[in-house]
């Protein structure tokens, strides 16, 4: 069963210009991403190719702890690969995706926000791309184009936290807002007044073919080199941040 709560953001007049609000809704598991949830998100992206989609959480202080680790290895590998299918759709669909981040976004959660076209965040937001410790490359496809190569390597190789203020300094987020959902609604209202075909053209031009190629490379290399096995629960961690990433449940 999917853990997504889906409704309209604003007046429900049936127009494709009314944004679709999509919220992760399993706070007890820190919004860990299940295969059913990822498949549901992929379906929404595919079936609403031109509609603005606003992606966030029902719970302030949480975005997502990443892919659910409490599944078997084959399911975990499938889940990772289907997440990449979502990132590719987010990159290539003409509709705009806005991520609303009010807390920790880790692994697949951080990737979803990076794949979004726009991001709005509260001062409590933070991100962590957990990769090499899990036998994966995570975020290397997109972060250099968003924050620069040096900072991207720092984030992806060390898996350290990117906190809200640094995210603004790096250009990952334009500004912080105590009410990021209101900020997202304002963004969506501006987009609704624009020429929708032009929005798609802007995305296609700004997306750059190279970013898509890098996405496909990261996806294929992770698929070829990773069994889906989670790191040992008994392995030492560098910080409490690593624990959040490894253990989706609070």
Q: What's the pLDDT at 10?
A: 74
pTM equals: 0.90
What is residue 250's predicted lDDT score, i.e. its pLDDT? 30
Share the mean pLDDT of the chain.
90
Residue 40 CA: distances (Å) to CA of 47, 119, 212, 240: 10, 21, 22, 31
Asked whether the predicted pLDDT for residue 227 surpasses 70, the reply is yes
| Mean pLDDT (whole number) for 36-50 | 97
Of the candidates 21, 27, 24, 28, which has an alpha carbon nearest to the alpha carbon of residue 6? 21
| Structure letter (DSSP) for residue 33 | B
Residue 78 sits in a domain of what CATH number?
Answer: 3.90.226.10
pLDDT for 85-95, tens place per residue?
999 999 999 99
* pLDDT band with cut points at 50, 70 and 90 for residue 15: low
How far apart (Å, rounded) are the C-alpha atoms in residues 105 and 172? 13
* Residue 2 confidence (pLDDT): 82
Integer Cα distance of 40 and 86 in angstroms: 10
Statement: residue 237 has pLDDT above 60: no
Mean pLDDT of 140-162: 98
Distances (CA, A) of 128 to 89, 160, 185, 192, 201: 22, 6, 26, 32, 31
Model confidence at 55, pLDDT cuts 50, 70, 90, reads very high
How many domains does the chain contain in total? 1
pLDDT per position as a tens digit, 175-195: 999 999 999 999 999 999 999
The whole domain housing 195 covers 4-246
**What's the length of the chain?**
250
Q: What is the mean pLDDT of residues 78-104?
A: 97
């Amino acid at each position: 069963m999917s853990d997504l709560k889906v409704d309209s953001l604003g007046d429900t007049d049936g127009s494709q210009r009314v944004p679709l609000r999509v919220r992760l809704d399993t706070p007890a598991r820190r919004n860990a991403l299940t295969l059913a949830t990822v498949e549901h998100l992929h379906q929404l992206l595919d079936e609403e190719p031109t509609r603005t989609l606003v992606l966030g959480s029902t719970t302030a202080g949480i975005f997502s702890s990443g892919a659910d680790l409490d599944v078997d290895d084959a399911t975990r590998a499938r889940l990772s690969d289907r997440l990449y299918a979502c990132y590719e759709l987010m990159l290539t669909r003409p509709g705009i995706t806005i991520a609303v981040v009010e807390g920790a976004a880790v692994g697949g959660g951080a990737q979803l926000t990076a794949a979004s076209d726009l991001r709005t965040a509260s001062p409590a937001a933070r991100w962590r791309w957990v990769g090499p410790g899990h036998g994966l490359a995570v975020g290397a496809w997109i972060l250099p184009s968003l924050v620069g190569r040096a900072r991207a390597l720092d984030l992806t190789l060390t898996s350290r936290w990117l906190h809200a203020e640094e995210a603004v300094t790096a250009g990952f987020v334009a500004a912080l807002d105590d009410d990021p959902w209101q900020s997202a609604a304002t963004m969506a209202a501006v987009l609704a007044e624009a020429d929708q075909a032009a929005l798609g053209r802007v995305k296609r031009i700004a997306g750059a073919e190279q970013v898509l190629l890098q996405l496909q490379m990261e996806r294929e290399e992770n698929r070829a080199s990773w069994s889906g096995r989670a790191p040992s629960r008994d392995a030492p961690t560098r910080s409490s941040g690593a624990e959040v990433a490894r253990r989706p449940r609070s």
